[in-house]
Amino acid sequence: MAEYTLKNIPEEIYHRAQSAAQNSLRSLNQEIIFRLLRSFDAEDARMTALHARWVMDALASGPAKPFKAADMDAAFEQGVSRAKARRQGA
C-alpha cells in the first residue's frame, strides 16, 4: 500500500475529519480513506446513472437507421449549443 503525507490541510477540514473519525471509531487516516472511497463511489454511481440514461434515450429514440455525415454535424452542433447554454447559466 502506498504512503502519502497530506500537507497544508485547512484547520477546519482537519478538525472536522478528526471529529468524524472519533465519532465513527476510526483513526484519522481510516476516516480520510473511507471518505475518499465514498466520494469515488458516488462519482462512479453518477457516471453509471448518466450512461444508463444515455442508453435509455438511445433506445427511446426509435429504430436504428443509417448514420449520415449530416446527422453527425447536427448532433455536434446541438451538443455545442447545449454546452454554451450551460455555461451561460440557461
- pLDDT tens figures, 19-62: 999 999 999 999 999 999 999 999 999 999 999 999 999 889 88
Q: For residue 79, is it within any domain? A: no
Q: Give the structural domain span for 54.
A: 11-63
Overall domain count for the chain = 1
Query: Can you read off the three cell numbers belonging to residue 17?
Result: 475529519
Q: For residue 77, is it within any domain? A: no
pLDDT digit string, tens, across residues 67-88? 899 989 999 999 999 999 998 8
Query: Can you read off the three cell numbers belonging to residue 14?
Result: 482537519
Per-residue pLDDT at 40 = 95
Q: For residue 72, is it within any domain? A: no
Q: For residue 88, is it within any domain? A: no
Q: For residue 57, is it within any domain? A: yes
Q: For residue 82, is it within any domain? A: no
| Long-range contacts of residues 65-68, Cβ cutoff 8 Å, at least 24 apart | none
Q: For residue 16, is it within any domain? A: yes
CA distance 70 to 21: 56
Per-residue pLDDT at 90 = 58
Banded pLDDT at 6 (limits 50, 70, 90): confident
CA distance 71 to 66: 10
